Amino acid sequence: MIVNKKIVYLFLSMIFLDHIGWCGDNVPILTTEPTLLIPQKINLINWQPVLLRMLQSVFFFDNIERDSVLLVNMVKNKTDGILQASKITNILINYIVENTRKYNVIDMGVLYSVYRELGMLPEDNRNSYSFSMKIANYLKANYILYGIAYGDASKPSLELQLISVKTGEILRVVNSSV
């Protein structure tokens, strides 16, 4: 009788352990081997032609007064993946500085230092339209170039908005996709 009780006990224990994942096919869950997390793939997109086409396609900066200060805000990533927002923003700043000498563009280093002072990262999701207005007012900018990337991260769409800091009015909008 004692042998039968031990067999029943072992049998019930195996069923119980199998149901909680400690036995059978679920054993690898308890492995001590390290788990390798594979990061999401970053698609390297050549943004120069896309951005140049966007800025040349319309008279984007006609409304900006001479000697005004322009803040090119960090491009906001609303895609379904990883995007090189700082690279896109740097290209925008460089194109604007190289191709127009009418106004002053706030340097990326200055923008980064303001973000640090405010305890945020430029790629932070809290980087909203209203936050961009606060930064522009803080830096005494007259205009903001606000960029939003959206859609599929491998072939994103990009929207640029030229905004008056004084009125909050969106003066120009241009869209393009990769």
* Mean of pLDDT over the chain: 79
Alpha-carbon distance of 96 to 100, in angstroms, equals: 6
For tokens 């700043």, what's the residue? Answer: 93
Structural domains of the chain, with CATH: 1-37 (no CATH), 47-177 (3.40.50.10610)
pLDDT digits (tens, 9 = 90+) for 15-55: 555 544 454 554 555 556 666 656 556 667 888 888 888 88
Measured at the CA of 116, the angle between CA 113 and CA 121, to 5 degrees, comes to 110
Q: Is the pLDDT of residue 137 over 70?
A: yes
Phi, psi of 134, deg, nearest 5: -65, -45
- Identify the band that residue 133 occupies on the pLDDT scale cut at 50, 70 and 90: very high
Alpha-carbon distance of 176 to 89, in angstroms, equals: 15
Beta bridge partners of 118: none
